[in-house]
Amino acid sequence: MSVQVLLATLNAKYVHSALALYSLRRYCRQVCPDIAVREYTVNNELLVILGELYREKPDVLGLACYIWNIDATLELAGLVRKVLPATVIVLGGPEVSYDPAGIMETNDAVDYIVQGEGEETLAALLAALAEGRVPRETPGLAFRSDGAVMAGFPQVVRDLKTIPFPYDDDDMAGLRGRIVYYESSRGCPYSCQYCLSSATAGVRFLPVERVLDELAFFIAQGVKQIKFVDRTFNARREHYLPIIEFLAAQDTSTNFHLEIAADLLDDDVLAVLKTAPPGRFQLEIGVQSTNEDTLTAITRRNDWPRIVANVGSLRAAGNIHLHLDLIAGLPYEDYRRFGQSFNDVYSLKPHMLQLGFLKLLKGSGMRRTADDHGYAFMDCAPYEVLANKYISYGEIRKLKIFEEMFNQLYNSGRFPATLDWFVATSGGAFALYEAIAAYWEKHDLHLIAPGARGLARHLDGFCREAFPEQTAICRQFLKFDTLGSDRDSGRPDFLPWDGADREEAKSAFWRDEAAVRRYLPGYVFTSWREVRNNHHIEFFDIDIPAWLDDGWFVKRPTAVLFTRSRGTPSWQKVEPGDLLKGRAV
């Protein structure tokens, strides 16, 4: 009997894609050729999704379940049962793998649950359904029998070579402009108790030669970003180093996002990474905490001195986006000790510092020991921590406002000079951002999403309250960051922009091609429109370039040339002698 199968999920955002569905489809085609993938988002109306599923009328509907979509997915399954009563509904994914009985006992619409890595289990289920059999002996499959739910244990695919490459040419057209997920290994060498990877032991790898062939396919397709889902990409040197070397040598604009353990990097790997083309790699490094008692409790090992050295080396190279992670709410880390972890990681100057909050996931070690640490957490997904013995809900709430503000200011990359100056002025990163977060709450800014101009105005307002005597200096830094941002958000009118008295010096500079070429080799004046669109000279009351370069704070008129013609804005200090032939500026 031919069985028509549809695999679907609700992604968190349109730009995301569901690697699991593509992998299941390719693997299960050996037993069921008529199998398709459909991706929606949690922002789509459920009735619209229901209508699309009804139009296809599959014999079997598989739905992938995660913490961001579980409630909507269960509601969708109930709707499908009402309009397609003959369709077999199968759930899979981490959100249902560790409590299949609880899910099935409260959701009559669900016929089966695939537990763990689903390729082999789903293939066995589809083969049984095609033959009209009841798949009672299938490992990792939960089902009903005489009114009771029979469940096994989450499965793993021991030999990854048996899983075909998930994508084909037709998939690439539908994934254009989106993040494409890929895996070269499954499992993790660590056993961090907050992570579901701790539920399985060991790491399984695809052959390196196969990985290189598959990555070449993506490059040939012009994929914008490949995000490896390997839990620790650099778990085994002989596996990942050839991949890094191959990707670094390619002629491509594709970006590759890798989750790594920074303390496992050696000098040879660092050398490859530091000579890779700018933008080729994006590294996500999970630090989580710098408190040794906390790390011991979650069975995580961090070689902090080596992390500092390796991240510092990569940061100095300047060609790789570095994304570092912290988790609030871990055992033995109170509010102030979390602040120390924040300061430690902030001092490494990552391009992004992600402040996350502990989630007590089903199947994780932390969920099993929650009572030992007095955890209060959300009963429903995403199971986020509200408090524990070490940190109160009030403090968690403060950190939530802190996180929102920090994402808007630091992680947006809009105000690097201003924030560096603020930290230097205030004497500590956590204390500074804690004060800004308090200002945010005082003025209800955590309840809105201010644009770039609004953010600059709010930073100015914070400075006027916290450092009133420094307001004029703050505005100089805000002006610098506004011009140096890669987002054209206009010029806030409260900042002290150059007046007409500066125009003579600027006009003379642009007409002096010899002077301009000292900053823009090959420059030829074509039109004032070209100059205005691609370049801007602004005077500052303090020498901000000197402060950024070496920390010298000098009050003197300084001209800076900002250039946008090469993508991300760049800036150069203009020597006074190149403006008005050395006359006073």
With beta carbons less than 8 A apart as the criterion, state whether 460 and 473 touch.
no
Q: Measuring CA to CA, which residue among 448, 452, 474, 476 is closest to residue 463?
A: 474
> Are 347 and 474 part of one and the same domain?
no
Domain that holds residue 472: 392-494
Distance CA 182, CA 504 (A): 56
Q: Which residues contact 344 (CB under 8 A, 6 or more apart)?
A: 287, 290, 304
HSE, side-chain direction, 13 A CA sphere, residue 360: 22
> Are 141 and 184 part of one and the same domain?
no
More confident residue, 53 or 533: 53
> Are 382 and 272 part of one and the same domain?
yes
In a domain, 157, yes or no: no
Confidence (pLDDT) at 488: 62
> Are 490 and 512 part of one and the same domain?
no
In a domain, 161, yes or no: no
With beta carbons less than 8 A apart as the criterion, state whether 320 and 340 touch.
no
Distance CA 389, CA 395 (A): 12
In a domain, 13, yes or no: yes
Distance CA 262, CA 270 (A): 10
- The letter for the amino acid at 7 is L
In a domain, 156, yes or no: no
With beta carbons less than 8 A apart as the criterion, state whether 552 and 543 touch.
yes
> Are 242 and 373 part of one and the same domain?
yes
In a domain, 171, yes or no: yes
* pLDDT band, very low/low/confident/very high, at 1 (cuts 50, 70, 90): low
- The letter for the amino acid at 147 is G
In a domain, 159, yes or no: no
> Are 124 and 180 part of one and the same domain?
no
Confidence (pLDDT) at 491: 86
- Residue 181, token pair as written in the block: 């997920």
Confidence (pLDDT) at 35: 96
Confidence (pLDDT) at 453: 80
- Report angle CA 314, 215, 154 to the nearest 5 degrees: 95
In a domain, 199, yes or no: yes
> Are 215 and 90 part of one and the same domain?
no
Beta strands in 333-473 (DSSP E): 352-357, 376-377, 385-387
User: What would the pLDDT profile of 150-206 be if each residue is shown by its tens digit?
Assistant: 998 999 999 999 999 999 999 999 999 899 999 999 999 888 899 987 677 789 999
Beta strands in 151-298 (DSSP E): 179-182, 185-187, 203-205, 225-228, 255-260, 281-288
> Are 209 and 287 part of one and the same domain?
yes
Separation of CA 230 from chain center: 14
φ, ψ dihedrals at 271, nearest 5° = -65, -40
For the residues 513-530, what does the mean pLDDT come to?
Answer: 90
Q: Where a domain ends, among 93, 124, 150?
A: 150
Total tally of structural domains belonging to the chain: 4
> Are 437 and 558 part of one and the same domain?
no
> Are 217 and 363 part of one and the same domain?
yes
Look up residue 577 and give its DSSP letter. Answer: G
Q: Where a domain ends, among 150, 182, 200?
A: 150
HSE, side-chain direction, 13 A CA sphere, residue 272: 16
Confidence (pLDDT) at 447: 86
User: What would the pLDDT profile of 297-317 be if each residue is shown by its tens digit?
Assistant: 999 999 999 999 999 999 999
Residue 583, pLDDT above cutoff 50: no
With beta carbons less than 8 A apart as the criterion, state whether 457 and 394 touch.
no
Q: Record the pTM.
A: 0.93
In a domain, 158, yes or no: no
The H-or-E segment that residue 423 falls in is helix 416-426
- Residue 128, token pair as written in the block: 């049984």
User: What would the pLDDT profile of 38-92 be if each residue is shown by its tens digit?
Assistant: 999 999 999 999 999 999 999 999 999 999 999 999 999 999 999 999 999 999 9
Confidence (pLDDT) at 585: 39
Q: Could you give the 3-state DSSP secondary structure of residue 421?
A: helix
Confidence (pLDDT) at 190: 86
Residue 134, pLDDT above cutoff 90: no
Confidence (pLDDT) at 584: 39
3-state per-residue secondary structure call for 46-94: HHHHHHHHHHHCCCEEEEECCCCCHHHHHHHHHHHHHHCCCCEEEEECH
Return mean pLDDT, the chain.
93
With beta carbons less than 8 A apart as the criterion, state whether 63 and 32 touch.
no
- Residue 451, token pair as written in the block: 């644009």
User: What would the pLDDT profile of 462-511 be if each residue is shown by its tens digit?
Assistant: 999 999 999 999 999 999 999 988 666 678 999 999 999 888 889 989 98
End-to-end CA distance of the chain: 86
The H-or-E segment that residue 270 falls in is helix 267-274
Distance CA 13, CA 29 (A): 27
User: What would the pLDDT profile of 213-272 be if each residue is shown by its tens digit?
Assistant: 999 999 999 999 999 999 999 999 999 999 999 999 999 999 999 999 999 999 999 999
DSSP 183-219: -SEEE-S---TTSGGGGS-SEEE--HHHHHHHHHHHH
Confidence (pLDDT) at 582: 41
Q: Residue 563 pairs with which residues in a beta bridge?
A: 535, 570
Q: What would you report as the CA-atom Rg of the chain, rounded to the nearest whole angstrom?
A: 28
Q: Which residues contact 405 (CB under 8 A, 6 or more apart)?
A: 433, 436, 437, 440, 445, 446
Q: Domain holding 95: CATH number? A: 3.40.50.2300
Confidence (pLDDT) at 311: 98
Q: Where a domain ends, among 494, 515, 543?
A: 494
CB atoms within 10 A of CB 170: 8
* pLDDT band, very low/low/confident/very high, at 551 (cuts 50, 70, 90): confident
> Are 104 and 224 part of one and the same domain?
no
> Are 46 and 133 part of one and the same domain?
yes
